[in-house]
A and B are shown apart, each in its own frame.
Chain A
Amino acid sequence: MRASDLLKTTPAGLYCAAGDFHIDPLRPVKRALITHGHSDHARAGHESVLATRETLAIMGVRCGPDFAGATQAAAYGERIGIDGLTVSFHPAGHVLGSAQICVEAKGLRVVISGDYKRARDPTCAPFELVPCDVFISEATFGLPVFRHPDAAHEIARLIDSCRLFPERAHLVGAYSLGKAQRIMALLREAGWQRPIYIHGTMEKLTRFYEREGIDLGEVIRVTGPERPKLGGEVVICPPSALQELWSRRFPEPVPAFASGWMRVRARARQRGVELPLVISDHADWDELCETILATGCSELWVTHGEEDALVHWASGQGLAARPLHLIGYGEEEVEACEPAIPSDEADPALI
């Protein structure tokens, strides 16, 4: 069997006909296998969802208890039979509960990475390398200019800035799921003992992380009257809030943004960021290359991101490489629970 017979791209995303299931589907489908809880991968409205227990719980927190008709939890490493195929979930190191999905059929093994990273993250299980024939990788940071520094170094810069500007509030834009909690945990590791303040939209997910046993120290939801008093404090908010009315009530705010995109100055300037923090939950260029080679795959498919450069590199390494041009992934910033897109056209806001 060839991989292209096992998995096909459809308007709803990657589809496996032999098992009649989609992976991270963009539209409502009968059976969905979901890698992780970010809104571009985990949408509401499917008949049944198979995902890790944490991902199912995150979908419940984000979209309410009725996000799918039926759910089934997969433990990491558990082998699950679906119509003669075997599927299994393996840690992707991206956010809490994130998984790569391995599909095996008649000796052929395909791994769909979902979003992943290799760097250490105290808030989720580390990436597990799964040897395979075909590796389907993301390429969010698939250009050699993207090399993420040690996150601890970036956190040290944030703490240093709070010391130098004790009268200014440090507003750190960060995605609500995963990035925000990772920053809290890294701040604690760096010895930051003050309370950490969060924007209201982050509260539910942060409390969920705490219930999962991840120690984030004292985390306080910011209220209106408190805002002017938060000089020298760290306030974590969704990136979009940095430009909203909400941010104006803080004392002389230092707009910071934690993202791999901050590696490129023009990107940081475009968003009016004064303290760019290069902290990413995605693999950087070196991690992508290293991981692809380490899986031992002979074929590479690239789902989304900067596909061209990664495909060019992989071809040079003797791999059969091709881009899938999947549209609809790569914007983790969407805050509200986005239902799967019902129409034929993807929402331009998500591209």
Chain B
Amino acid sequence: MNRFAELLDRLSFEPSRNNKLRLMTDYFRSTPDPERGYALAALTGALGFQHAKPGLIRALISERVDPTLFYMSYDYVGDLSETVALLWPEPAATAAGAGHNRPPLALSEVVTTLATSGKLDLPRILARWLDALDEIGRWALLKLITGSLRVGVSARLAKTAVGDIGGKQPNEIEEVWHGLSPPYIDLFAWVEGREARPEATDPAPFRPPMLAHPIEEADLAVLNPEDFSAEWKWDGIRMQVVAGHDATGKRVLRMFSRTGEENTHAFPDLAEALAHLPAQDFAIDGELLILREGRVQPFSILQQRLNRKAVSAKHMADFPAHVRAYDLLSLNGEDFRPFAFCDRRKRLEAFVAECNEPRLDLSPIVPFKSWEDLAAARADPASAGAEADAAAVEGIMLKRVDSIYVPGRPKGPWYKWKRDPFNVDAVMMYAQRGHGKRSSFYSDYTFGCWREGENGEELVPIGKAYSGITDEELAQLDRYVRNHTINRFGPVREVEYSRDKGLVLEIAFEGINWSSRHKSGVALRFPRINRIRWDKPAKDADRIEVLEGLLRQRESA
């Protein structure tokens, strides 16, 4: 437990992805089975025990610490698990040395005990464990049992770290992952080259998806339009739907996100519909979208469905989930991935037609002869066949007709050609220190647009951006922030801004939605700094009405 706790502790302070990987790989290399396997399960969210409630932890500490001192401490620290971890009294080292003869608490003991013990036993067991651990151990244990690790590690990153032990790609781990269970002894044995690859016995396994490279108009000059097929790039969520049969012959249907996170439970309406398709087993690659009366809804509508954790019947009826298919990876036991795209496409078209299921349709091909045709379609999807669905189109996908389906992001076979981003000129209002390499720079900026306020023209914040600029520009902005600070709030500085003074930033963004959480009423998608407008007076920055206009225009499209 101690080594795992130290790993979590270090991860929680480490901002860089690569360094997180190194910390995890080092841990997996130097920690024996089954400890590391349970650690992997904890990091990938694969531990299935009931989480402890904060009330239980409060009750335990109140039996041990003066309430006034607890209150003062909690007030100072601000986090319950952390306060309790720090406050927990070390058990007195008795003459009998009760604590010292026992072996140190192992993570495997924690996991196996939690899986088998009842609710009533939990306070007693937890108290015994807390007695046996040091501060960091207690912190990690409390985070683990309350289900809030929050150390900035995705399941994918943890699997990548395991692969790094033996030079395996994360996709190779994904291929076998769903057939495995904690503590993953067979996985580590394979990665370390001691045993054969574990059998993927999962009846409905996730297949790591194929991804596309962004393309610039200039790249098109060297590509031949005849080699490619084009589709709309939908502004939804990449989704893989897999069906199969388990050993007992029972039908299994699973839906996965792009990173292999299973999310079947979030879309019971869709899962129900797809579970009754005539095909025996299959794997579809497609886009999760909300369709109303056959029209694809913009991302902001999909977002409303995703925001709800528990889905009510009414919510499902208001936001019906669909899959728009663009690839067929396997059918009835046959793996189609080694086939060319044009062959897979023919099979996909036949498959979707045969299914005849309203919740499943085909992502249409966008016909074109030249790159000019395609550029026109991209600029105006509504007139190029997308019609009423144009608001949900965020660009064009280009796929080589002879491309086989390979996991990851190979350069060449698939490209994405996004629609031109939107631009707005906004004024810098606040700046915050960045993370990692940028932690000594003010690199995160909040910016605003003008609107009519109670006391005349005022700036209202519309978003925050921290990318898009070169290191040199970053240094210039950092200097600007330091020289124009008018207020400090912890790590945040407020800079000078008024009609006459202030720095204008040209912000590019991919989309815009109405938002009740933002003071301005709108939220930008993927804002980034396009240019620093040293030349532009603050009073000439854009007004909020410009953004509202964009939104209305999109809605009426």
Which A252-278 residues sit within 8 Å CB-CB of chain B?
A: 252, 255, 263-266, 268-270, 272-276
Of B69, B79, B134, the contact of A266 (CB 8 Å cutoff): B79
Bound together, the chains give a CA A175 to CA B476 distance in angstroms of 31
Closest to B139 in A: A265
Q: Which of B18-26, B209-217, B246-254, B385-393 contacts A (4 or more CB under 8 A)?
A: B18-26
Any chain A CB within 8 A of the CB of B306?
no
Report which residue of A145, A164, A252, A274 has the largest number of chain B beta carbons within 10 angstroms of its beta carbon: A145
Closest to B439 in A: A272
Inter-chain contact B440/A145, CB cutoff 8 Å? no
Of B13, B14, B86, the contact of A145 (CB 8 Å cutoff): B86
Inter-chain contact A264/B82, CB cutoff 8 Å? yes
Any chain B CB within 8 A of the CB of A133?
no
Which A114-147 residues sit within 8 Å CB-CB of chain B?
A: 143-147
Closest to A164 in B: B26
A300 to chain B, nearest CB (A): 16
B67 to chain A, nearest CB (A): 11
Any chain A CB within 8 A of the CB of B490?
yes
Bound together, the chains give a CA A170 to CA B463 distance in angstroms of 35
Any chain B CB within 8 A of the CB of A207?
no
Bound together, the chains give a CA A252 to CA B16 distance in angstroms of 10
The interface bits of chain B over 3-38 (1 if a CB of A lies within 8 angstroms of the residue's CB, else 0) are: 000100010111100010011001000000000000
Any chain B CB within 8 A of the CB of A247?
yes
Any chain B CB within 8 A of the CB of A312?
yes
Any chain A CB within 8 A of the CB of B433?
yes
Closest to B82 in A: A265
Inter-chain contact B23/A312, CB cutoff 8 Å? no
Contacts of A269 in B (CB 8 A): 13
Inter-chain contact A274/B14, CB cutoff 8 Å? yes
A141 to chain B, nearest CB (A): 11
Of B10, B65, B135, B491, the contact of A270 (CB 8 Å cutoff): B491
Closest to B15 in A: A274
Closest to B89 in A: A144
Which A150-184 residues sit within 8 Å CB-CB of chain B?
A: 157, 161, 164-165
**A147-B440 contact, Cβ under 8 Å, with A164-B23, A165-B22, A309-B72:** no
A150 to chain B, nearest CB (A): 10
Bound together, the chains give a CA A69 to CA B550 distance in angstroms of 74
Bound together, the chains give a CA A145 to CA B76 distance in angstroms of 9
Any chain A CB within 8 A of the CB of B472?
no
Contacts of A164 in B (CB 8 A): 22-23, 26
Which A283-319 residues sit within 8 Å CB-CB of chain B?
A: 306, 308-309, 312-313, 316
Which A206-251 residues sit within 8 Å CB-CB of chain B?
A: 242-245, 247-248
Of B13, B83, B440, the contact of A273 (CB 8 Å cutoff): B13
Contacts of B440 in A (CB 8 A): 242-245, 247-248, 272
Contacts of B19 in A (CB 8 A): 165
A5 to chain B, nearest CB (A): 31
Of B72, B78, B437, the contact of A252 (CB 8 Å cutoff): B437
Of A144, A245, A264, the contact of B69 (CB 8 Å cutoff): A144
Bound together, the chains give a CA A58 to CA B468 distance in angstroms of 50
Inter-chain contact A145/B66, CB cutoff 8 Å? no
Contacts of A143 in B (CB 8 A): 69, 72-73, 76
Any chain B CB within 8 A of the CB of A149?
yes
Any chain A CB within 8 A of the CB of B80?
no
Size of the A side of the interface (Cβ < 8 Å), in residues, is: 36
Q: How large is the interface on B (under 10, 10 to 19, 20 to 34, 35 or more residues)?
A: 20 to 34
Inter-chain contact A147/B79, CB cutoff 8 Å? no
Contacts of A272 in B (CB 8 A): 433, 435, 439-440, 491
Inter-chain contact A312/B73, CB cutoff 8 Å? no
Inter-chain contact A313/B12, CB cutoff 8 Å? no
Of A242, A252, A264, the contact of B77 (CB 8 Å cutoff): A264
Inter-chain contact B66/A316, CB cutoff 8 Å? yes
Inter-chain contact A275/B13, CB cutoff 8 Å? yes
Contacts of B82 in A (CB 8 A): 264-265
Bound together, the chains give a CA A270 to CA B14 distance in angstroms of 13
Bound together, the chains give a CA A299 to CA B10 distance in angstroms of 43
Contacts of A149 in B (CB 8 A): 134-135
B515 to chain A, nearest CB (A): 27
B147 to chain A, nearest CB (A): 18
Bound together, the chains give a CA A235 to CA B12 distance in angstroms of 23
**A265-B12 contact, Cβ under 8 Å, with A147-B135, A245-B440:** yes
Contacts of B22 in A (CB 8 A): 164-165
Inter-chain contact A270/B490, CB cutoff 8 Å? yes
Inter-chain contact A144/B65, CB cutoff 8 Å? yes
Any chain A CB within 8 A of the CB of B465?
no
Contacts of A244 in B (CB 8 A): 440
Any chain A CB within 8 A of the CB of B68?
yes
The interface bits of chain B over 496-509 (1 if a CB of A lies within 8 angstroms of the residue's CB, else 0) are: 00000000000000
Report which residue of A242, A269, A272 has the largest number of chain B beta carbons within 10 angstroms of its beta carbon: A272
Contacts of A268 in B (CB 8 A): 13
The interface bits of chain B over 252-272 (1 if a CB of A lies within 8 angstroms of the residue's CB, else 0) are: 000000000000000000000
Bound together, the chains give a CA A146 to CA B72 distance in angstroms of 12
Inter-chain contact B13/A276, CB cutoff 8 Å? yes
Bound together, the chains give a CA A316 to CA B82 distance in angstroms of 25
Please list 25 pairs of residues, one from A and one from B, whose beta carbons are closer than 8 Å in the complex, sorted by A's number. A144-B86, A145-B77, A145-B86, A157-B6, A164-B22, A164-B26, A243-B440, A244-B440, A255-B439, A263-B86, A263-B135, A264-B77, A265-B82, A270-B490, A272-B433, A272-B491, A274-B14, A274-B15, A275-B10, A276-B13, A308-B72, A309-B72, A309-B73, A312-B66, A312-B72
- The chain A residues found within 8 Å of chain B, CB to CB, are 143-147, 149, 157, 161, 164-165, 242-245, 247-248, 252, 255, 263-266, 268-270, 272-276, 306, 308-309, 312-313, 316
- The chain B residues found within 8 Å of chain A, CB to CB, are 6, 10, 12-15, 19, 22-23, 26, 65-66, 68-69, 72-73, 76-79, 82-83, 86-87, 90, 134-135, 433, 435, 437, 439-440, 490-491
Closest 7 pairs between A and B when the two form their complex, measured CB to CB: A145-B86, A272-B439, A145-B73, A274-B13, A309-B72, A144-B69, A143-B73
Given A145-B73, A255-B439, A272-B491, 8 other A-B residues pairs in contact with their CB atoms under 8 A: A145-B76, A147-B86, A147-B135, A242-B440, A245-B440, A263-B135, A266-B78, A312-B72
